[in-house]
Each structure stands twice: as structure tokens, then as C-alpha cells.
């Protein structure tokens, strides 16, 4: 069991205190060139495409157990390891990685609040030496926990105790901008653009909890309901998944294929 007791949303000042700690892996999901230029000391680089599976036109699917086991073993992960993930784009890639850890039952992980923006802009140490992990033997098993699929959603469209939370832009939500054959949104869904949850003046950190909860309450996204999240590929919506988990929501699921599946099928119901 990990001795580290770190919160799900971790501040840069707190992470700096634990650099080099046993049973801690810092995972960098920034662009390759960003990592080579500067990263958190000791951070292991993980390319985002390695944690998703593609069956065009459907993007953002979950890799199978064998693929995930290989990737997680390659970064030296063990069941006791506490993972801190970050990226350079507001947390979408990092949160998709943490969501993946959640659905396989990994117990110990945190999101660096503000990611590389907060770390670098606030004077924390940086390094440009690539880190090679000692490979391990991590066995990943994807469960149904935290995952919704097309059939789940179709069966819950009229359920008043389920909220479909769309984290794309309003233009995508209304269908004026589309990245699939059809535009619009899942019937009865509500929209919260993931960018609206970030504080642009504080290096892309999450907004204060009370402000976030107020935004969610106005949309009817309340803790007693089942919340199913989606975007285009469950990238942006993974960020909102972690936000809800941080706020204490327990019945939350991400839709991996998301709009790249729903919007490319000929017969799924759509609203605009």
C-alpha cells in the first residue's frame, strides 16, 4: 500500500515536497517536444496515443487488457504506486490517463492542478533530461466501473435520474460545428464546455469548488443522480470526470467512443 496520502487534485507546491519519494511516479503527457524542452524532474513521458484505441471513425476507445498492461508496465507502475499526471493543455490528456487508471481499479492517483502551466509559471524546478522507467509487470483488467456505452445510453434516455453531460463547445453541442457525420447532442443532454471549468488567470487550475458546484447545480448535475459524460472522444470529458470525483460524486461514467461513435452512426437519436 502506498504511504503517500496525496489528494486527487494536487497543487504544485505540495508535489514539489514529494519529488523523489518512494512509490511515486510522475507521468508527463505533454507533447513530445515540450517534454524534451522541459518537464518536472523525474517525470516519465507517456505519449497520449498509447492510452487510447482507435477504430475509425470511432476514436478514444479503451485499449484491451493486454495493451494497457504493456503500457503501464513500461512506465514501471505497480499496484502500490501513487501516480501524479499532468500535461500542457489544461488536464484533458492527464485526466484521460487517470480515468483509465480508475476503470482498472488502480487506487492511488492525483492530477497536478494546472499541469505544466502552473508548475513552470510559478517557479518550480524543471529538467530536460529524459527519464527511462524500470519496466515492471502490471496486470490491467478493465471493469465496467466508470464506463458507459451506446446501449447503456439508449436504455437511459428517458430516465430522470440520469444526466448526460456534454463537455464539448456550445457550437458542437448545437451542431453548428461538427466532427462527425451528424451534428448535435444526445437527447436531453446538458452542456458544460470543459474550458469553462478552468481559471485562466491561475494557470488553468480548476475553478474554486463552490463555483464549480454552482455551475453544476444550475444544470441539474447533482450528486444523487447518475452522470454520464462525453465529448468527442472522452478526452475533455475525462477532465470533468475527475472534477466530479473531486467534488464527491460517486455515480459517474465516461462514454469512451463519445460523439465520434454516436455522431457517426446512422440511427442514434440526436437533438440540435
Residues with a catalytic annotation lie at 231
| Cell digits of residue 160 | 430522470
Q: Three-state SS for 112?
A: strand
d(CA 259, CA 256): 9
Q: Which residue has the cell 523525474?
A: 42
Q: Are 179 and 235 in contact (CB under 8 A)?
A: no
d(CA 207, CA 63): 31
Q: Which uninterrupted H or E stretch holds 45?
A: strand 44-45
Q: Are 209 and 247 in contact (CB under 8 A)?
A: yes
| Cell digits of residue 77 | 507502475
Q: Three-state SS for 25?
A: strand
Residue 1 neighbours by CB under 8 Å, 6+ apart: 80
Q: Are 183 and 263 in contact (CB under 8 A)?
A: yes
d(CA 180, CA 160): 28
Amino acid at each position: 500500500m502506498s504511504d503517500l496520502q496525496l489528494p486527487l487534485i494536487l497543487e504544485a507546491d505540495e508535489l514539489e515536497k514529494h519529488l523523489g519519494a518512494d512509490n511515486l511516479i510522475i507521468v508527463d503527457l505533454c507533447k513530445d517536444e515540450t517534454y524534451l524542452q522541459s518537464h518536472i524532474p523525474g517525470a516519465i513521458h507517456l505519449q497520449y496515443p498509447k492510452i487510447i484505441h482507435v477504430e475509425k471513425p470511432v476514436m478514444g476507445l479503451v485499449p484491451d487488457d493486454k495493451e494497457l498492461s504493456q503500457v503501464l508496465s513500461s512506465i514501471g507502475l505497480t499496484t502500490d504506486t501513487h501516480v501524479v499526471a499532468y500535461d500542457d493543455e489544461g488536464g484533458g490528456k492527464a485526466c484521460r490517463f487517470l480515468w483509465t487508471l480508475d476503470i482498472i481499479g488502480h487506487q492511488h492517483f492525483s492530477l497536478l492542478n494546472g499541469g505544466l502551466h502552473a508548475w513552470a509559471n510559478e517557479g518550480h524546478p524543471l529538467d530536460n533530461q529524459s527519464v527511462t522507467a524500470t519496466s515492471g509487470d502490471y496486470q490491467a483488467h478493465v471493469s465496467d466501473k466508470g464506463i458507459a456505452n451506446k446501449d447503456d445510453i439508449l436504455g437511459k434516455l428517458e430516465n430522470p435520474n440520469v444526466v448526460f453531460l456534454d463537455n464539448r463547445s456550445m457550437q458542437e453541442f448545437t451542431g453548428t460545428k461538427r466532427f462527425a457525420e451528424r451534428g448535435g447532442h444526445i437527447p436531453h443532454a446538458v452542456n458544460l464546455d470543459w474550458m469553462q471549468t478552468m481559471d485562466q488567470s491561475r494557470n488553468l487550475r480548476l475553478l474554486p469548488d463552490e463555483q464549480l458546484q454552482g455551475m453544476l447545480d444550475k444544470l441539474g448535475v447533482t450528486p444523487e443522480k447518475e452522470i454520464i459524460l462525453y465529448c468527442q472522444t472522452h478526452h475533455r470529458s475525462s477532465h470533468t470526470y475527475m472534477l466530479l470525483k473531486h467534488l464527491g460524486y460517486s455515480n459517474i461514467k465516461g462514454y469512451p467512443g463519445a460523439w465520434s461513435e454516436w455522431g457517426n452512426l446512422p440511427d442514434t437519436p440526436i437533438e440540435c
